[in-house]
C-alpha cells in the first residue's frame, strides 16, 4: 500500500492522550504558525509596495496590476485594501477567480492569515457552495458567480472594489465580466446620466419576473457610489487591458524568480503519459530533493498517472519508496485540494499532478521540478456546425513559460519539456481567448437576463465572431429561452437564466418537471457535471468492466448514471439505518465505490452538485417527481431536451450528427459502444483523432419531430 498523505496539522502527540501537555503544545504550535505566516507575508515581493499600491487604488478608478505568480497579489492586495479602509459602510471587496479551486484555497489561506474563521470576515462563494456571511468583507468567488450576482444586483452595489484576478486567462466569464463591469462602473459614477440606459434595459420586459430580478429603484441608485476596478494579471501584456479601459494605469509588481534550467527531449514523445511517468521517476531517483509538479490535461489522466506511479513505487527498493502523489484539478473536493499545499512529511518527496490550474491560479510551495508535456485541454467551437468540443492542444509559449516559472519560485529549478526544442518556436505566443472558441449560448442568455439585448453591439474586449453569436441566439430560440424577437422569454428563458447550468441542462430540468421525471434528470445533470464516474485501472480491467455491467442499461449512459447514483444512495441509506456517523457513512461509500470501480471523488462532487441544484429547483417552485422505472418517459424527456445533439447511424456503423452533419463515433467508454442504436442523443463531443460522442442514449427517431417540432418537423 502507498502511504496515504498524512494530515500534517495532526501530530502524533495529539493522539496519545497526554492532554495537559498537549494543550500547551498546541498553543505553542499555533503561535509558531502565526509567526511563520507573519514572516511569510512580510517576505512577499508585494509587501514592500503596499503603500504605493493603496495610493494608486485611491487615485485611479481602474488599475491594472501585473505581477509574477507568487508575488502575493491574490492573497495580500485585498488585505491591504481592507486595512486601508475600503470596506467602509459595510461595503465588500470582491475578488474574482476563473477557477473554483483558487477561490476556495485562497480564501482559506487569507482567513488563516487574518486569524479569522472562514466565512466571517473572509469568505468565498462558488457555484454550488457559499462560505460567506453578512460580516464577510473580503469575498473570493468565481467570475461566473459574480456574473450571476449581477442578475440580482445589477449595479453590484455591495462592492466598493472588484478585483478581476487572473485576467490573462481570458476565460469567457472574465471577458463578459470585464464588459459588464465597465458598464456598471460608468453607471455608478454617473448615476443620473449613464445609468439610465442600463437600468432601463434591465427593467424592460420585467413586469412578471420573479422577485429576485428586482430592477434597481431610483432611491437605491442615488445612494450608489463609485466602483473601483482592479484587473490583475500574471502575464506581462497589460496593454490590451489598459487600452480596453480607456488607457487605465498599469503597475508592475516585481516577483522573485530564480533561474530555471529548461530541458527538452531529443525526439517527439509518442506517449506523453508514459514520458511523464518516466520523467517523474528519473527525477525522483537521480535529482536532489525538491517537489515535482507535472502538468496533465484532466482528471482522468491525472488519476491514471497517479495509479501508475503508485504501481511503480511498489517495485522500487525500500529506501526509494518515499514518493507521494497529490492530485489537483478543478473538480477535486476542496479538502483534498488542500493536500497540494501541505508540505510532504520529512524524507518524502511529493509529486503534484495538476491541470493547468497550477500554471498561475494557485501557487504551491516547494516545487523544484516541473514536467511539462506541452499540452492542455481546451474548448473548441465550430460556429458553422454549432458544435463545441473538448480537444487537447499544444500550450502557447506564454503558458510554457508560466509552467517552467513554477520551478523557480524558491530557488533554482529545472523544467522538463517533453517535446523537442524545435517545437517550442512553433507554439503560438499566447492562448486564444476562450470567448472566441466556445459556444456562447450561456453568455448570451446571461447578458439577455441582465437586460443587455444587443449582444452583437456589446463592448467585448475581443468580439466573438458574429456567426457564433447568431448561432447561439438561434440555439436559445430553439430551446425556448428566447421569443421570436430574440428577447428573453417568459417564463422558460427566465427560469433557464436563473439556473447556474448550461442552457441545455437547464431546459432539461424544466422539461423534466413536465415529463414527471425531475428526480432522474436532476441525477443526470449532476452526474454529467463531473468528469469520469467510472474508472478502469489497467491491471483490473476485466473486474472493472464487470462492475460497470451491473449498472449498465441497454438504453444508454444516462440511465446507467441514474443506476449508479441510485445504488450509491441505497448504500448510504443502509448506513443511515444502522445509525452510522457521517464519517463512517462516507467511509462505507468510499469502500462501496472501490468495490464497484466508481470514482469516489467524482461521485461525492456529483452528490454536492445534486443537492445544490435541488435547492435551486425547489426555490423555483418545481415539485419533485419521479418516473420510477418508466425509463421510456425519461428517454423521451432526454430527446426533448437534447434534440440538438441527435445523431443517426450510418451504414458503416458511424453516426451522423443531425444538426451539423458531422460524422461521429460513439466513445469506447459508452455502454452503447458495441450495441449500435439507430438513433442516439449525446451530451459531449470529444475530438481526438476522431470525433467521439460521450454520454449517449438510444432514442426513437420518430420522437424527434414529435418532441422537437420547432427543429425537426419541417424536414420530416
Ligand atoms: O497571486 P499571486 O500569484 O501573486 O500570489 P498569491 O497567490 O497571493 O501567493 C502568495 C504566497 O502565498 C505564495 O508564496 C504561496 O506559497 C502562498 N500561499 C499559500 O501558502 N497557500 C495558499 N493557499 C495560497 C498562497
Ligand atoms: Mg494570484
**For the CA of 105, the nearest atom of ligand 1:** 23
Share of the chain above pLDDT 90, in %: 68
Residue 412, pLDDT above cutoff 90: yes
Residue 210, pLDDT above cutoff 60: no
Cβ atoms of 295 and 400 closer than 8 Å? no
**Is the minimum distance from the CB of 109 to ligand 1 under 6 angstroms?**
yes
Residue 160, pLDDT above cutoff 70: yes
Q: Count the Cβ atoms, other than its own, within 10 Å of residue 61.
A: 17
Residue nearest to atom 14 of ligand 1 (CA): 70
pLDDT per residue as tens digits for the range 492-512: 999 999 998 999 999 999 999
pLDDT per residue as tens digits for the range 376-396: 999 888 887 777 888 899 999
**Is the minimum distance from the CB of 534 to ligand 1 under 6 angstroms?**
no
Give the C-alpha separation, 591 to 254, whole Å: 49
CA angle at residue 36 from 49 to 101, to 5 degrees?
75
Residue nearest to atom 18 of ligand 1 (CA): 363
pLDDT computed for residue 305 by the predictor: 94
Which residues make Cβ contacts (< 8 Å) with residue 37, sequence separation at least 6? Answer: 112, 113
**Is the minimum distance from the CB of 45 to ligand 1 under 6 angstroms?**
no
**For the CA of 364, the nearest atom of ligand 1:** 16
* Length of the chain measured in residues: 716
**For the CA of 68, the nearest atom of ligand 1:** 4
Q: Residue 110's pLDDT band (boundaries 50, 70, 90)?
A: very high
Residue 72, pLDDT above cutoff 70: yes
Share of the chain above pLDDT 70, in %: 91
pLDDT per residue as tens digits for the range 573-603: 888 777 778 888 888 999 999 999 998 988 9
pLDDT computed for residue 249 by the predictor: 95
pLDDT computed for residue 324 by the predictor: 95
Residue 10, pLDDT above cutoff 60: no
Give the DSSP letter string of 649-691. E-TTS-EEETTT--EEEE-TTSTTSSS--SEEEEEEEEESSSE
Q: Residue 336's pLDDT band (boundaries 50, 70, 90)?
A: confident
Mean pLDDT of the residues in the chain: 88
Q: Residue 530's pLDDT band (boundaries 50, 70, 90)?
A: confident
Give the DSSP letter string of 284-338. HHHSPS-EEEEE-SSHHHHHHHHHHHHHHHHHS-GGG--EEEEEE-TTS-HHHHG
CA of 156 to the centre of ligand 1 (A): 27
CA-based end-to-end distance of the chain: 60
**Is the minimum distance from the CB of 70 to ligand 1 under 6 angstroms?**
yes
Residue 348, pLDDT above cutoff 70: yes
CA of 364 to the centre of ligand 1 (A): 7
Give the C-alpha separation, 185 to 203, whole Å: 19
Amino acid at each position: 500500500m502507498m502511504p496515504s498523505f498524512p494530515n500534517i496539522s495532526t501530530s502524533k502527540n495529539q493522539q496519545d492522550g497526554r492532554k495537559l501537555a498537549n494543550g500547551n503544545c498546541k498553543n505553542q504550535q499555533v503561535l509558531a504558525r502565526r509567526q511563520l505566516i507573519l514572516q511569510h507575508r512580510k517576505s512577499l515581493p508585494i509587501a514592500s509596495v503596499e503603500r504605493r499600491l493603496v495610493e494608486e487604488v485611491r487615485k485611479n478608478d481602474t488599475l491594472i496590476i501585473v505581477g509574477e505568480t507568487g508575488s502575493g497579489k491574490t492573497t495580500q492586495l485585498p488585505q491591504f485594501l481592507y486595512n486601508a479602509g475600503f470596506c467602509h459602510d459595510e461595503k465588500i471587496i470582491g475578488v474574482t477567480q476563473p477557477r473554483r479551486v483558487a477561490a476556495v484555497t485562497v480564501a482559506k489561506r487569507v482567513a488563516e492569515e487574518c486569524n479569522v474563521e472562514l466565512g466571517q470576515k473572509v469568505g468565498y462563494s462558488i457555484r454550488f457552495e457559499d462560505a460567506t456571511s453578512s460580516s464577510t468583507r473580503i469575498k473570493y468567488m468565481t467570475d461566473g458567480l459574480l456574473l450571476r450576482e449581477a442578475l440580482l444586483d445589477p449595479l453590484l452595489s455591495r462592492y466598493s472594489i472588484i478585483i478581476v484576478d487572473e485576467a490573462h486567462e481570458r476565460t469567457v466569464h472574465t471577458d463578459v465580466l470585464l464588459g459588464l463591469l465597465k458598464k456598471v462602473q460608468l453607471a455608478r459614477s454617473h448615476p443620473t446620466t449613464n445609468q439610465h440606459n442600463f437600468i432601463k434595459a434591465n427593467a424592460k420586459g420585467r413586469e412578471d419576473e420573479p422577485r429576485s430580478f428586482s430592477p434597481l429603484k431610483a432611491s437605491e441608485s442615488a445612494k450608489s457610489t463609485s466602483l473601483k476596478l482592479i484587473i490583475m494579471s500574471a502575464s506581462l501584456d497589460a496593454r490590451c487591458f489598459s487600452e480596453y479601459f480607456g488607457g487605465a494605469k498599469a503597475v508592475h509588481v516585481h516577483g522573485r524568480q530564480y533561474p530555471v534550467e529548461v530541458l527538452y527531449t531529443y525526439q517527439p514523445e509518442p506517449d506523453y503519459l508514459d514520458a511523464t511517468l518516466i520523467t517523474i521517476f528519473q527525477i525522483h531517483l537521480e535529482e536532489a530533493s525538491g517537489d515535482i509538479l507535472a502538468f496533465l490535461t484532466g482528471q482522468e489522466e491525472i488519476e491514471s498517472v497517479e495509479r501508475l506511479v503508485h504501481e511503480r513505487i511498489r517495485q522500487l527498493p525500500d529506501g526509494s519508496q518515499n514518493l507521494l502523489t497529490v492530485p489537483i484539478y478543478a473538480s477535486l473536493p476542496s479538502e483534498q485540494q488542500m493536500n497540494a499545499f501541505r508540505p510532504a512529511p520529512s524524507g518524502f518527496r511529493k509529486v503534484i499532478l495538476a491541470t493547468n490550474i497550477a500554471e498561475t491560479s494557485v501557487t504551491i510551495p516547494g516545487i523544484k521540478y516541473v514536467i511539462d508535456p506541452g499540452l492542455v485541454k481546451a474548448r473548441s467551437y465550430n460556429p458553422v456546425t454549432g458544435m463545441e468540443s473538448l480537444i487537447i492542444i499544444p500550450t502557447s509559449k506564454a503558458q510554457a513559460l508560466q509552467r517552467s516559472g513554477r520551478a523557480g519560485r524558491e530557488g533554482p529549478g529545472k523544467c522538463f519539456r517533453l517535446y523537442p526544442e524545435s517545437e517550442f518556436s512553433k507554439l503560438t505566443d499566447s492562448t486564444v481567448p476562450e470567448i472566441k472558441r466556445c459556444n456562447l449560448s450561456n453568455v448570451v442568455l446571461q447578458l439577455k437576463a441582465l437586460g443587455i439585448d444587443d449582444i452583437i453591439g456589446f463592448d467585448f474586449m475581443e468580439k466573438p465572431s458574429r456567426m457564433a453569436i447568431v448561432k447561439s441566439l438561434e440555439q436559445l430560440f430553439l430551446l425556448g429561452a428566447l421569443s421570436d424577437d430574440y428577447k428573453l422569454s417568459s417564463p422558460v428563458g427566465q427560469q433557464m437564466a436563473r439556473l447556474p447550468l448550461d442552457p441545455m441542462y437547464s431546459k432539461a430540468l424544466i422539461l423534466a418537471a413536465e415529463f414527471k421525471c425531475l428526480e432522474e434528470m436532476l441525477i443526470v445533470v449532476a452526474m454529467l457535471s463531473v468528469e469520469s464516474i467510472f474508472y478502469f485501472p489497467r491491471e483490473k480491467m476485466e473486474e472493472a468492466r464487470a462492475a460497470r455491467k451491473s449498472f449498465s442499461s441497454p438504453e444508454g449512459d444516462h440511465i446507467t448514471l441514474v443506476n449508479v447514483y441510485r445504488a450509491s444512495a441505497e448504500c448510504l441509506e443502509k448506513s443511515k439505518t444502522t445509525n452510522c456517523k457521517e464519517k463512517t457513512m462516507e467511509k462505507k461509500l468510499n469502500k462501496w465505490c472501490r468495490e464497484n470501480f466508481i470514482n469516489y471523488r467524482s461521485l461525492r462532487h456529483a452528490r454536492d452538485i445534486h443537492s445544490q441544484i435541488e435547492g435551486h429547483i425547489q426555490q423555483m417552485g418545481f415539485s419533485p417527481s419521479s418516473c420510477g422505472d418508466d425509463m421510456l418517459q425519461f428517454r423521451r424527456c432526454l430527446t426533448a431536451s437534447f434534440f440538438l445533439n441527435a445523431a443517426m447511424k450510418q451504414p458503416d456503423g458511424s453516426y451522423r450528427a443531425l444538426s451539423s452533419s458531422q460524422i461521429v463515433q460513439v466513445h469506447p467508454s459508452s455502454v452503447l459502444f458495441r450495441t449500435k442504436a439507430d438513433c442516439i442523443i449525446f451530451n459531449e463531443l470529444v475530438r481526438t483523432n476522431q470525433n467521439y460522442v460521450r454520454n449517449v442514449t438510444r432514442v426513437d427517431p420518430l420522437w424527434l419531430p414529435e418532441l422537437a417540432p420547432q427543429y425537426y418537423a419541417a424536414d420530416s
